[in-house]
Amino acid sequence: MEKLRSITALILLLGVSLSATAQTGKRPVRSPGFPVDVLIDGGTIITMSKDRSVIENGAIGIRNGKIAIMGSRNVFIKSIRAKQVIDAKGKFIIPGLINTHTHVPMVLFRGISDDLDLNDWLTRFIFPAEAKNVTEAFVRAGTRLGLAEMIRGGTTTYCDMYYFEDAIAEETKKAGVRGVLGETIIKFPVADNKTPAEAIAYTERFIKRWQGDPLIVAAAAPHAPYTVSTDDLRKIREQSDRLGSPVITHIAETRKERDDILAEYGKTPAAYLDSIGFLSDRTIAAHSIWLTPEEIAIYRERGVGSAHCPQSNMKLASGVAPVPAMLAAGVAVGIGTDGAASNNDLDMWDELDTVAKLHKLNTGDPRTLPAEEVFAMATIGGARALHIDDITGSLEAGKRADIVILDNDSLNQTPFYNVYSSLVYSTKAADVRTVIINGRVVMLDRRLLTLNENAIKTEAFRYRDQILASLNR
Amino acid sequence: MEKLRSITALILLLGVSLSATAQTGKRPVRSPGFPVDVLIDGGTIITMSKDRSVIENGAIGIRNGKIAIMGSRNVFIKSIRAKQVIDAKGKFIIPGLINTHTHVPMVLFRGISDDLDLNDWLTRFIFPAEAKNVTEAFVRAGTRLGLAEMIRGGTTTYCDMYYFEDAIAEETKKAGVRGVLGETIIKFPVADNKTPAEAIAYTERFIKRWQGDPLIVAAAAPHAPYTVSTDDLRKIREQSDRLGSPVITHIAETRKERDDILAEYGKTPAAYLDSIGFLSDRTIAAHSIWLTPEEIAIYRERGVGSAHCPQSNMKLASGVAPVPAMLAAGVAVGIGTDGAASNNDLDMWDELDTVAKLHKLNTGDPRTLPAEEVFAMATIGGARALHIDDITGSLEAGKRADIVILDNDSLNQTPFYNVYSSLVYSTKAADVRTVIINGRVVMLDRRLLTLNENAIKTEAFRYRDQILASLNR
């Protein structure tokens, strides 16, 4: 095993050295050494690559936003010339976590209404609170708050669905976070667009604006099969084909949705969506709880990515998604927190722990979803579900440098016997130390570098007071 | 409401002032003011008293280990003379959390074997690891590690079942933590006692030794109805009657246990235990998953306290305890983490969040177990389940000062609309700042005062290496 790891490291080293030589045409003379922007020195690298290699006493060199070189520290460290060195000795180094489903600005509604019937929750609190408060400025403030919480918890990529998504993209880019961001399309008037046609025109501009961006993937986000017409769903699929952009939606979140769609179209939700040609290998489907085995096969055939949000699904009593069956069928499944109004946080670590435990209970088998598989869902699996696994989700030379450095000796992690067990069952958001996204250090030793935490909190409490006042009017 | 709170504060103030005068015989002259050892100044006090009063801008004076005075800060702060003042302005002040079920030294086995069949887990890993490693020194090291993690997470009382429990009591007392601590009685030879008779003799000495201690309640802990004979269970009940000591046990954790007991005795576990006269209002029963409605009624009639451990029950696929039914029947239900080998931590905040969400899912009703009810389970409910609610579990004048001061403005808590929602769904162990147990400050501003964190970690990793070596032998 140790030998295998060293050989892997050597191969990586040689591969990179050769390409470096090829690029420059000759070895650099005046300042010897392989130049990198950031060097992560030391630590245990949990790669989540195909062979699931774990490199002890490793190092990673980052150049132009990508992992340029990676392997056993002692093999290549002396040949590196780095602008910035981050000491990770005694730490875990993991691919950044991928939160596959959020409504990020809703963090401003965190805990505004809990423990209610779903209909009460939406109609008495969430919809009125949104109608009275959601503006572009609100969305920006909520996004900054959510981004700060996500970075602190080691999330480097998230997939969102909300209003004013272009503003969310701007805030996300400024904070240096990777996002697959979908503008909501829904059949009733909302804060930014009054009709689905307006929303589809918005997504057209929005997607085109961000094409080629290193961090932002812009998308359309038709809310759900019961809130968007068949005709509009077809238009959205056409737009996605034309622009090569993802489509984010909710599918089969509740039993009622399943029953209603079945009554209206004679088919269950995913079967109906497939019958109208909506599903593709650019679709990202949140929840997917009430799926038949035939619909799981449809996800697999069409290449639909699945975003599993167990804590939201538990809190709203929606049900348990058939995750083991989806994984067995070869569907790409990632993990999401959902919006903080129904969770009530954006903490992926809590969510991992819940995924691992919930499906053991639900299947009656404690061997279901072992820790390593759950950690894969939160990283490379999430990247696959978002259709961006070519650039992120694992630590491999050539991929974007989306990297998290973790403590592994806090009391709640002590002792550890297995890295995946420690990550899934014992590690907390507070154990995240340093976060790098696309090669940029956005948190160093728990200090946020791209966001002003105090200003964000002050603004959040100001909005809280405004929201409370608006609901009492 | 505000008026009610002020009046409550005044009554508390007057009650205490009068008794202070009565004690001293006259008002102090030279140093005027009501003397306290510790004053918690400012903050929102979430009392968990019968009327669930929440005191904004409150203060608490602690004297001789008890809450001597409590109420609105501005009403009485000037009349206080304190040896130590802890500034809690802008914080939450809550009763310390009560972890109603642990096997604390097993924290040294954290993550040693996950995602296994229960039988494999026990027979291939836990039992061999215990047989080869559990000594009194091991138990002391594990206890210190567990105590440090619990204090950091705001747990002030825990209920334990393990071997060498007298050593656990000594370590617990030294760390200043409150414990209801049970020595295991089981029908096969274990590390400290080779027979149940030896173990019962041990508990006799153990219980007598700690009688009258302000922190430690010593107990017998017969492992389960399937691992202790009827005759020994009767002897343990007799001892408990004679010494007034609690009895801690596991009841109906698995379907197999229920079926086996039914096959052997013609009764389900709790009904069988009741039929032999084992259950009383000093019994503390962990898990209690496979209970019939009749057995819930038995718990209520006998005054059995129930320790609910949802994360362990999920991870081992044991099932979901009928908590809403128990609460509806008037059974005292607390929350426990179980041992860290099956969780894998001693974090009560994670457990609260899981309790609130799991039962919504399990009943299909998102109104099940609202946040306030779950927070009550973790505090006053836990105290009732452990039969110590006369001294702890809520913040009230006269009760022991088991108090936790929390941040309420970390990113994951921002903003908040409702204190109970914030506590149950958004607060993390890392938000705990200061912990006071029986009037003694054991953590101040996240610094442990009674335990050496670095020494504890070093020792834990030394045991980890020893355990790994022992399993490979």
- Indicate the pairing of strand A58-63 with strand A66-72: antiparallel
Q: Look up residue A431 and give its amino acid.
A: D
> Shortest Cα distance from B318 to chain A (angstroms)?
7
CATH superfamily, domain at A2-95+396-448:
Urease, subunit C, domain 1 (2.30.40.10)
Please give the biggest Cα pair distance in chain B: 74
> Shortest Cα distance from A357 to chain B (angstroms)?
5
Confidence check: pLDDT of A436 > 60: yes
> Shortest Cα distance from B438 to chain A (angstroms)?
23
For B85, other C-beta atoms within 10 Å of its C-beta total 15
CB A208 within 8 A of CB A216: no
- Contact: B111, A409; criterion CB under 8 Å: no
> Shortest Cα distance from A419 to chain B (angstroms)?
9
Q: What is the mean pLDDT of residues B352-372?
A: 98
Where are the strands (E) in A351-413, listed by range?
Answer: 403-406
Tokens 């009382």 found at: B157
Tell me the C-alpha distance between B5 and B47, whole Å.
11
CA terminus-to-terminus distance, chain A:
66
Confidence check: pLDDT of B11 > 80: no
- Contact: A311, B412; criterion CB under 8 Å: no
Residues 6+ apart with CB under 8 A from A40: A59, A60, A61, A62, A86, A88, A93, A403, A405, A436
Q: E strand or H helix at B101, and its extent?
A: strand B97-102
- Contact: B412, A428; criterion CB under 8 Å: no
* pLDDT computed for residue A24 by the predictor: 43
Which residues of B fall within a CB distance of 8 Å from A313?
361
* pLDDT computed for residue A443 by the predictor: 98
* pLDDT computed for residue B45 by the predictor: 98
Q: Look up residue B116 and give its amino acid.
A: L
Question: Which of residues 51 through 110 in chain B touch A, CB cutoff 8 A?
Answer: 108, 110
Dihedral of CA atoms A338, A339, A340, A341 in degrees, nearest 10, equals -120
Residue ranges per domain, chain A? 2-95+396-448, 97-385
Confidence check: pLDDT of A1 > 70: no
B409 to chain A: nearest residue by CA? Answer: A457
DSSP B400: B
* pLDDT computed for residue A25 by the predictor: 42
- Contact: B366, A112; criterion CB under 8 Å: no
- Contact: A416, B464; criterion CB under 8 Å: yes
* pLDDT computed for residue A8 by the predictor: 43
Q: What is the pLDDT of residues B266-276, one digit of tens each?
A: 999 999 999 99
Which residues of A fall within a CB distance of 8 Å from B428?
347, 428-430
Round the average pLDDT of chain B to a whole number and report it.
Answer: 93
Q: How many helices (H) and strands (E) does chain A have?
A: 18, 19
Confidence check: pLDDT of A117 > 90: no
> For residues A200 and A25, which has the higher predicted lDDT (pLDDT)?
A200
Q: Measure CB to CB from residue B411 to each of A152, A358, A428 and give the nearest one.
A: A152
Fold for the domain defined by B2-95+401-448: Urease, subunit C; domain 1 (2.30.40)
Which residues of A fall within a CB distance of 8 Å from B152?
411-412
What b-and-e string marks burial along B293-324, b requiring 16 or more CB atoms within 10 Å of the CB?
eebbebbeebbbbbbbbbbbbbbbbbbbbbbb
Q: Does A407 touch chain B (CB under 8 A)?
A: no
Q: Which of A386, A319, A402, A364 is nearest to A38 (CA)?
A: A402
Q: Measure CB to CB from residue B315 to each of A347, A357, A457 and give the nearest one.
A: A357
What percentage of residues in chain A have a pLDDT greater than 90?
Answer: 89
* pLDDT computed for residue A123 by the predictor: 86
Tell me the C-alpha distance between B354 and B314, whole Å.
10
- Contact: B468, A417; criterion CB under 8 Å: yes
- Contact: B371, A114; criterion CB under 8 Å: yes
> Shortest Cα distance from B362 to chain A (angstroms)?
8
Tell me the C-alpha distance between B449 and B456, whole Å.
13
Q: What is the pLDDT of residues A267-283, one digit of tens each?
A: 999 999 999 999 999 99
> For residues B292 and A8, which has the higher predicted lDDT (pLDDT)?
B292
CATH superfamily, domain at B97-385:
Metal-dependent hydrolases (3.20.20.140)
Q: Coil, strand or helix: which one is B399? A: coil
* pLDDT computed for residue A473 by the predictor: 73
Cα separation values, A120 from A260, A473, B6, B324, Å? 19, 18, 34, 21
Q: Does B126 touch chain A (CB under 8 A)?
A: no
- Contact: B457, A411; criterion CB under 8 Å: yes
Q: What is the pLDDT of residues B385-412, one digit of tens each?
A: 999 999 999 999 999 999 999 999 999 9
* pLDDT computed for residue A119 by the predictor: 83
Q: Does B319 touch chain A (CB under 8 A)?
A: yes
CB B286 within 8 A of CB B309: yes
- Contact: B115, A416; criterion CB under 8 Å: no
Confidence check: pLDDT of B29 > 70: no
Tell me the C-alpha distance between B133 and B129, whole Å.
6
Q: What is the mean pLDDT of residues B275-303?
A: 98
Q: Which of B92, B107, B108, B114 to mutate to test the interface with A (most CBs of A within 10 A)?
A: B114
* pLDDT computed for residue A122 by the predictor: 84
- Estimate the crossing angle of helix A348-363 against helix A371-378, to 10 degrees: 130
Q: What is the pLDDT of residues B99-140, one digit of tens each?
A: 999 999 999 999 998 999 888 888 888 888 999 999 999 999
In degrees and rounded to multiples of 5, residue A337 shows phi and psi of -90, -20
DSSP A96: P
Confidence check: pLDDT of B71 > 60: yes
Tokens 């010494």 found at: B243
Q: What is the mean pLDDT of residues B13-33?
A: 46
Q: What is the mean pLDDT of residues A57-77?
A: 97
* pLDDT computed for residue B122 by the predictor: 84
Q: What is the mean pLDDT of residues A45-64?
A: 98
- Contact: B353, A350; criterion CB under 8 Å: yes
* pLDDT computed for residue B31 by the predictor: 56
Q: Does B343 touch chain A (CB under 8 A)?
A: yes
Phi-psi region of A294 (alpha: psi -120 to 50; beta: other; left: phi over 0): alpha
- Contact: A115, B367; criterion CB under 8 Å: yes
Tell me the C-alpha distance between B239 and B302, whole Å.
17
> Shortest Cα distance from B138 to chain A (angstroms)?
13
Q: Does B313 touch chain A (CB under 8 A)?
A: yes
Tokens of A100: 């596959």
Confidence check: pLDDT of B6 > 60: no
Q: Does A349 touch chain B (CB under 8 A)?
A: no
Q: E strand or H helix at B169, and its extent?
A: helix B165-175
Q: What is the mean pLDDT of residues B165-172?
A: 98
What percentage of residues in chain B have a pLDDT greater than 70?
Answer: 93
Confidence check: pLDDT of B64 > 90: yes
Q: What is the mean pLDDT of residues B199-219?
A: 98
Interface predicted TM-score (ipTM): 0.93
Which residues of A fall within a CB distance of 8 Å from B408?
none
CB A89 within 8 A of CB A81: no
Q: What is the mean pLDDT of residues A296-312?
A: 98
Where are the strands (E) in B252-289, listed by range?
Answer: 283-287
Round the average pLDDT of chain A to a whole number and report it.
Answer: 93
A421 to chain B: nearest residue by CA? Answer: B111
